[in-house]
Amino acid sequence: MKRNHLVIVVLLITLGLMAWAGVTNYRRRKQEQAFAKDKLVMLTARSAPAPAGEADAPFKNPLADKQAPAFTLKDTTGKNVSLADYKGKAVVLDFWATWCAPCKIEIPWLTQLHDQYASQGLVVLGISEDDLDLDDKAALLKQKQEIADSAMKLHINYPVLIDDKEVSKPYGGIDALPTTFYVDRNGKVIAATIGLADRDEIEANIKKALGSGEQAQKGAS
């Protein structure tokens, strides 16, 4: 009888170890997949091959000196937010995603710069490019909540909007993340970056957006 109990105990321990090993291996595979995905995004954003004859060509802003395309999106609370709401302000439009590693490097800089320059008329809008299941209401609700939770964990202090896949098109299609547009007080796109930009470049573009059109705004007032 005791032997049977011992066999059962050994069997239970063996099964427990097998289950633990399975969970550990699954988590490791998921982490490796996430790392590979983040690495691919970073390589695509920073090292995508240029067309023949343009190997050394810098990123070209598709909306340079053009009016930023208008849009209205819902934020993570369900409130409608329009670009037109920020007329007369400098706006940073940061297209990002919760799984994007380079985005998570830039976001703390954007939150700091948002605080630093808000009094001068700066607004930062984070536009989530996470994949959404628009045909499944339950799944969509869960995905939106995950975006909101991620924004909270990243301590984002500016509005986070959820792209309905129609907004990214007029902004050039958004082929890599992060992609960031800098809009001046007159609504013109005066700079754009694709991939991970350093903090100094971000701040320089913010100052440019704040200063561009400032005299025209003062004259109008």
Per-residue pLDDT tens over the stretch 1-50: 555 666 566 666 766 656 555 545 545 554 544 444 444 444 344 334 44
Our answer to whether residue 31 is catalytic in this structure is no
pLDDT of 139 reads 86
Our answer to whether residue 100 is catalytic in this structure is yes
pLDDT of 50 reads 42
| 115-171 confidence digits (pLDDT tens) | 999 999 999 999 999 988 878 888 888 999 999 999 999 999 999 999 877 888 899
Chain CA centroid to CA 184, Å: 21
Q: Quote the percentage of the chain above a pLDDT of 90.
A: 55
Kindly state the average pLDDT of the residues 78-94: 96
Among residues 68, 103, 154, 209, the one annotated as catalytic is: 103
- Residue 105 reports pLDDT greater than 70: yes
Q: How far apart are CA 138 and CA 142, in angstroms?
A: 6
Domain range summary for the chain, segments of one domain joined by +:
1-47, 72-220
User: What's the length of the chain?
Assistant: 221
pLDDT of 74 reads 93
User: Which residues are bridge partners to 183 per DSSP?
Assistant: 91, 189
Sorted by sequence, the CB contacts under 8 Å of residue 59 that are 6+ apart come out as: 192, 193, 194, 195
pLDDT of 44 reads 41
Which of the 8 DSSP states describes residue 188? B
Q: How far apart are CA 101 and CA 177, in angstroms?
A: 9
Instruction: Return the biggest CA–CA distance within the chain.
Output: 96
pLDDT of 27 reads 52
pLDDT of 220 reads 44
Among residues 41, 90, 100, 151, the one annotated as catalytic is: 100
Is pLDDT larger for residue 55 or for residue 115?
115
Is the CATH number of domain 72-220 3.65.10.10?
no
Chain CA centroid to CA 34, Å: 16
